[in-house]
Chains A and B, each alone.
Chain A
Amino acid sequence: MEDGVKKFLYVNRKAPYGTIYALEALEVVLIGAAFDQDVSLAFLDDGVFQLTKGQDTKEIGVKNFSPTFRALGDYEVTKLYVEKESLDERGLTTDDLQEITYEDEDDDWAEKPSIIIVSRSEMADVMAGQDVILSF
């Protein structure tokens, strides 16, 4: 790791629209992305609901912020860890999640998936490897 670069993990555990946590987390990630740190996002518990595809909020009069996740790659936020057990408990599979990709600068701009499915114990390892953890 270069000098001054810290590993930041943003932990998302809330569903998208019932509270303001999910939207605020995304705002903080986007602001933080400007500071050239090593950023990862974690989605566990109800946080996995933030990534479902086909969200349509027109009838509840709330901004649909789910397309913003697909822009994270442009901010070099390319590691979105999603916990398998949390998906399973909620009857979800990776097919229920929107496709999020980034272009890998080090590999001739090849388009690669940003979502990384991990087990609960792997998620614990991800958390243990961070310098800073911000929870939402």
Chain B
Amino acid sequence: MATLHTVNKSPFETQALLSCLGHAKAGDTVLLIEDGVYGAAGGTALTDAVAGLGGAVTLAVLAPDLKARGIDEGRLMDGVKTVDYAGFVELAASHDRTQNWL
């Protein structure tokens, strides 16, 4: 009964990502899209909070949105998965529900 969470806002601008992380359960996936992708970068003021998720929640990022913003995949925190649009669809299909954090 896993949930796919999507976050589309910059974590430096809104609390959406932090709130999402506080509500994600073991087995869930948090997919960062649009301006949400900034939340997956390492070495930021928010990295510790995001890394604190632990291994039970999968963190993923939509690669085309990352690329658009000039954020190299090498900057991502350890353990972050990148997916393309087809991967996004697969995540939506393989989870029981999708919750969008706007």
Contacts and interface: CB of A to CB of B under 8 A. Distances in A.
A90 B70 contact: no
Count class of interface residues, chain B: 20 to 34
Contact of B38 (A46, A53, A54): A46
B23 interface: no
Count class of interface residues, chain A: 20 to 34
A88 B69 CA distance: 17
Given A54-B72, A66-B70, A60 B64 contact: yes
Contacts of B13: 14-15, 45-46
Contacts of B70: 52-56, 66, 96
Contact of B68 (A45, A57, A90): A57
A18 B10 CA distance: 9
A22 to B, nearest CB: 11
Interface of A: 14-19, 45-46, 49, 52-57, 59-60, 62, 64, 66, 88-91, 96
Given A54-B72, A55-B70, 8 more contacts: A17-B65, A18-B9, A46-B12, A52-B71, A60-B64, A66-B70, A89-B45, A90-B38
